[in-house]
Amino acid sequence: MTSEHLRDENELYQIINPGNYEGLKKYESVDIFSKDENGDRVLIKPAGHDTGHKQLFNSYDNTLINLYIRLEDRIALIRNTQNQLNIELRNSLNINVPKAKAILTNLVNVTLSEPRTELLTNIKETIDVMLKEYLSNPEVVTHLVQVSIHDYSTSLHLTNCMLFCFGYAHYEKYDIKDMKELGLSALLHDIGKINIPDYLLQASRKLTDEEFTLIKNHTTFGYDILKNSGFSKEVKLATIEHHERIDGSGYPHGRKDLANSSKVIGIIDMFEAITNWRPYKKEVEPLKALKMIKKSDVDRGRVDGKMFKSFANSLVGMKVRNKIDI
């Protein structure tokens, strides 16, 4: 057993409610730690070893002790689980809606369990309610399933954007109805990508101008898919407006007068894409991503500066003293 002083409290992530030995199995490939009385970390199960180690349990009542893993392991584990869920999703179709619904719920919950913002943790119950409501609509489930099967990273992008939108809506004190509309608009904004060949979406090289022109069509494709549906005007507009910019420099039409939800999603869409890994690029750390967007889009008047600031602040939760200075 080794004991090592923690240099940074944030290095470790507490495993919340693994429940029992079975629940711990997914942690088999990573180191598991406990903390001693000085708060120093103690390695109690090395990566690759069986999790049935008796040091994981209190000797007097046989319950699990507080267990921790490295933060980076947590993120890697979540990615694995998401991949796994997506494979299940592919297998559960053609189209078994209740099963697909359960898997999608799981997908969002796993995404949500990734350490993100304090604010999102605070509104977890609201998010659960929203999600339940979205997934009670078979049309939403069908669209999401189609996206997930076609391109895994798009479905992740959509759930992440939805979560960031909830954080933004909460920060801006939206009422529940508007929050629901914004979240749903985010969840469906890229559905037009199901009509874009997956080899283009997953390309790990720089796209040619022609290919990029083709990808841009996902906006009009998305609108065409939703235009005769029962979704609200905002949800439909988000598909065709999320790459438009308020100075007219966006695409597909160079429109300046955009729905508020489209403007917010446009900002969050950029942030999510920059901060997450893609086949063709590495992820950028959040603060750096915000600075990049400020320089490329806010300072040039392409996106709404006030919305951008609110979004940046929503990322760090409600604590005024923690506001990001950008």
Give the residues lining the site for Fe ion (CB under 5 A). 190
CA 282 to chain CA mean position, Å = 16
* Beta carbon nearer to Fe ion, 262 or 313: 262
Task: Work out the number of other CB atoms within 10 angstroms of the CB of residue 158.
Answer: 24
* Beta carbon nearer to Fe ion, 104 or 147: 147
Count helices and strands in the chain by DSSP H and E runs: 15, 5
Write out the two tokens for 253.
């039409």
* Beta carbon nearer to Fe ion, 250 or 317: 250
CB of 192 to Fe ion, least distance (A): 8
CB of 61 to Fe ion, least distance (A): 52
CA nearest to 26, candidates 51, 63, 58, 55: 51
CB of 164 to Fe ion, least distance (A): 14
**Cis, peptide link before residue 197, omega less than 30° from 0:** no
Among all residues, whose Cβ is closest to Fe ion? 190
* Beta carbon nearer to Fe ion, 13 or 221: 221
CB of 178 to Fe ion, least distance (A): 22
What b/e sequence results for 10-33 when a residue is b if at least 16 CB atoms lie within 10 Å of its CB, and e otherwise? eebbebeebeeeeebeebeebbbb
User: Please, which residues have CB within 8 angstroms of residue 218's CB and are 6 or more apart in sequence?
Assistant: 190, 192, 193, 195, 196
* Beta carbon nearer to Fe ion, 40 or 198: 198
